[in-house]
């Protein structure tokens, strides 16, 4: 597994989200702890310098099951944006926090799905930074 990379903007906004009463009151503490640990241990860079194959906030990602029989598309969003797209996954959900900062080719655990084994980050279909949208 490769080292994760966040944008400085994502790290800043997620840090504030973790401190919010909404997050603390509705999300299990171990999910918040996992995301907080990621924020503390993951390198951050300017949004304009983030590589195209990194999953950032508001990125749409294509996942493929380890056995290659299933695919899924999802967009990593802030909790308040969950209703804006059919394929939205909150960054405060386990899948959302596991995907953030990952690179195409990385394997992630997705225990909520029926397929056995890890899932491959096959493609970053859309990344806001790739098209110059640094403040989504």
Residue at 136 is within a domain: no
For residue 1, pLDDT over 60 is answered with no
Split into its structural domains, the chain has a count of 1
45-62: average pLDDT: 94
Q: Which of 65, 61, 92, 55 is nearest to 74 (CA)?
A: 61
For residue 59, pLDDT over 90 is answered with yes
DSSP 3-state of 126: strand
119-129: average pLDDT: 95
9: CATH: 3.10.50.30
**pLDDT at position 19:** 85
- Whether the full predicted model's pTM is greater than 0.75, yes or no, is yes
Q: What CA–CA distance (Å, rounded) separates 35 from 14?
A: 9
For residue 25, pLDDT over 80 is answered with no
State pLDDT tens for residues 66-85. 888 999 999 999 998 999 88
Domain around 18? 5-129
């Amino acid at each position: 597994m490769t080292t994760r990379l966040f944008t400085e903007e994502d790290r800043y906004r997620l840090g504030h989200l973790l401190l919010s009463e909404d997050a603390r009151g509705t999300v299990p503490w171990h999910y918040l702890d996992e995301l907080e640990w990621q924020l503390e241990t993951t390198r951050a860079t300017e949004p304009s310098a983030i590589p195209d194959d990194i999953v950032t906030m508001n990125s749409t990602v294509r996942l493929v099951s380890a056995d290659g029989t299933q695919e899924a598309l999802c967009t990593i969003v802030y909790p308040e944006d969950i209703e804006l797209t059919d394929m939205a996954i909150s960054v405060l959900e386990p899948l959302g926090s596991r995907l953030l900062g990952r690179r195409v080719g990385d394997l992630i655990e997705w225990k909520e799905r029926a397929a056995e084994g890890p899932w491959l980050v096959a493609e970053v279909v859309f990344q806001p930074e790739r098209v110059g949208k640094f403040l989504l």
